[in-house]
Structures are given as C-alpha cells and as structure tokens.
Structure 1
C-alpha cells in the first residue's frame, strides 16, 4: 500500500467519524520548549549567577498554550502562569509573548489576527495565511491515542535570529547595514487525519489533519491533551484590541526597536568588551 493511499484512507476514516458532528469543536493543549545557545562573556558574573540566569531563561521558553478550534477557525493563547522568575534584586527578563496574546486563524478566509503586547504596546497584526509547501512522508508514530504522519518543509531563515551581544565596538560614523546571512531549515510536523481540520498551533497549518507536534529549529511544540466536542460549547472570536498593522509593518517596528536596544547596550568604541553578555536565541 502506497504512502498516499494510506494517508487517504486515514483521512476518509477521520471524515466519516466526524460527519455527524455538525458542531465539531476541540481543545488541544500544547507545551513548548526552546533550546538556548547562551554565551556569557562577563568577568562580573559568577558561576552561581550564570546558573541562575540559565534556569530563568529556560523557564521563559517553557510555556503552555491552548488551541481552541472548529472546522473553520481557531484561537491559540498562552495559559495563564505565575510571575516570571527573577535574577537578583528587581531584575526581570522577558522576551515578548505575554499571557494576553491571542492568535486567531480563519481557515475559510485564509486570514489571521495576532493580538500581542510588545514593549508595553498592544498590536493587532492582521494578514493573510500563506500556503506551506509541505512534503507528506511515510513515517508514522502514535501521539497519545492518535496515529500521526510526518510532514516536512524547508524555509530560509537568518543564521542567528536574535543576537543581544557584545557586538564589536560601534563606530556611528562607519556603521553599515548588512543583510543577515541565511540558511536552510527543515521544519518537521506530525499530524493526525483522525482530527480532520487543517490547523495546528501558532502559524502552523495546511495539513490533512490537526498538527500535534512541531520541530522548528530549536523550538519544539508538543500536544499533551486533546478534548473533542467538550461539554461547554466553544466560542471563537477574532481579537480586536491593539494598533492594527500588517505582519511586515510589525516586523519592521520590531527590527527598529531591536537595533536601538543593541546600540544602546553594545560597548562603544574604546569600551570594555568583557563587560558584555552575549545571548543567541536561534530557531
């Protein structure tokens, strides 16, 4: 039996099992983890402080999200959590993505609305969902009770996405803009045709079944719980709060803010590079 035939059979089984559920809905819980490449070049930070900062950084990227979905739309939101861990007295580090952020997808209209608070400002990013050129593969595995199939696609990404670092001393007169070096990254998804929605966590979508697991560079997203047709009916509403921008406009704003922050904290010409902390958050 060919791979495509097996996939089509599973899709048919999923469709038949849900054809009588006119108000088909679901709630999926996802847990995220990001491996960090952290380099600390500082004579002022002892081993205990470095260890404490590492633990804090790990917890910053270990989050739980809830995806509520039906056949045409979804909401993806971070589960509320306790205050972030702090390092030292009064120092707290945060990398965007607060508990008030909501990511809405309309699969019928192929649009999304991403409501998020960044650097104290609320944005409402509204744009189109672009198709992902997934390659369906023959590998299978079970995630919980669900049979899942593997799919991959390749995209171009900056070699280092974020670099808050001891950039070489900045000379404002000679500073030049350089295009980031790009590299190919293979994104791997595991989806189940037993839940017949072409949706998934965050921006991942477009497969013949709900995506239950994602590996995107150093980011891993895994579904830990699914409830189909819960007793309490789900209400999926598009978010409306925040300054409305396109994805490109938001990315340009963030790039500008990031450069301002890097210039503010980078050592100037003649400064001591040993006082800086270098943090690479890739993938």
Structure 2
C-alpha cells in the first residue's frame, strides 16, 4: 500500500509534525486491521516510516475505521495524524464532515479551506477528563526531567489529562525552562509505561490564551513529538475543569519551535463537558 506523508499543524512541509497516512481500499482484515494488513504489518510500516505516528484508514459505511501506530506500539488516538489523514481525504474527495472510528471512540472531523485557500481540519475529541498525579510520580518525573519543584508554575498544577489518550500535564515557570529539555529517556519511558501516559506535556503560559508547549514521547520511541493534537485537547479539558479559563474560549498553541519544526494548533474550549476542538493545517511532504 502507498504511504502518504503529511506535515500537520503547518503549511510548510519542513515544519509541523510529520505523519504517515495509509488509505486502505479493502475491507478490514481478520484482526481488524486495514485490508490484508495485520497488526504486525502495520507496526512494521510505522517503524519503517519512522514518524511519531502513522494512521491506517479503512472506509466503512459512515466514515473511516482508523488505527494509529508509533514505531514501537499502537496508540488509541493521535491528533496530528487525524488532522493529516482528514486533509489527505479532503484532497481526494473534497471538504466536508467526516467520522473517524478510533480505539478511543468516535471522532468527528470537519475539513475546510481557510481564508488563504489552504486545507484545514478540525477534530472534536472525546469528552476529556482530569485526574490527580501522586506525589511519588511527580517526584519521579521531575527527577527524570532534571527539574526541581521550583521550576514549575504554581498557578497550573500538575494533572493527568485525557482526551483520547492520557498525558501528564506539567507547567514550566519560564520559557527558558521549557526550552532546556534534556531528560533521562529510559527512566521517563519506564514510568510512562507503568502509568499508561502517552506523552508528558510540558507547557508555558505566555498569556491568558497563548501557550508554548513540548511533548516528551519516549514511549513512542522518539524524544519529542513536534505538534500533538491529542494532548492539546487534553490541555483544553484540563484548563476548563480547573477553572483556569472562561469558556467558550480559543487558545493559540505553539509547538515545535525548539525542534526547528514550528507548528500552530488552535484549540477551542466550549462550555460544559463536551469534547475539545483542535484545528490545524496539513500539507503533503515530498
């Protein structure tokens, strides 16, 4: 099958977060994988592509069945690969509403063209949740990162956010602290595997609605994810649940700058308890 390559949350193929996209024409295989692809086959393709995630889409009656694989494991949901996949479908079939059936639940997606005529996609996450993080786990994360409690922003308490996958949300007190990321890969990965955290999302709040973020992703076999839609949705749910924003509100989230792959995510937080909307461009890579 042909693997398409897109950069998500950017209009520049050299920026944003690369994702593999496989549009499978066949019905699901015996194990639920696209067409004739087995789980092992999808994992092998994702490892060969080498991006943080590759999405595998199979057409079904009301949308697409979608599975996501990092180079090392399947993940229940991936935001940037969803944005990339939706734009790939829009390029083939035109813009409009889509429904992605994922392991985390059904994800409505709408594709459109922005004011400049560029394709965008907006996903709506599953309803988010927020949980406490234990003192022992927080101490272990800080040790793995080489951070101290004094490096944290006390106005944004550590929590585990969920909007399709679990992410530890940790706020840096300064932009400089966020920029200096050099962690113990194995130590952080081992804790994340024990706790089922997909990323550790490090954030710095530049203003009421503007954030700079980084996502450590050792469980996916990469040091850092350049632009992370699933954790952006989790961040939106976290801010709403803790009363740190006044919904409805739109956030501007910058990610990838410290990697040399800048990306931009727009996060819309509605009132109530429903899903968080994450919007971005995507562009085919050569």
Q: Which category describes the TM-score, using the shorter chain as reference length?
A: under 0.3
Higher relative contact order (CA 8 A, sep 6+): 1
TM-score by length of 2: 0.25
Query: Looking at CA atoms only, which structure, 1 or 2, has the larger radius of gyration?
Result: 1
TM-score by length of 1: 0.26
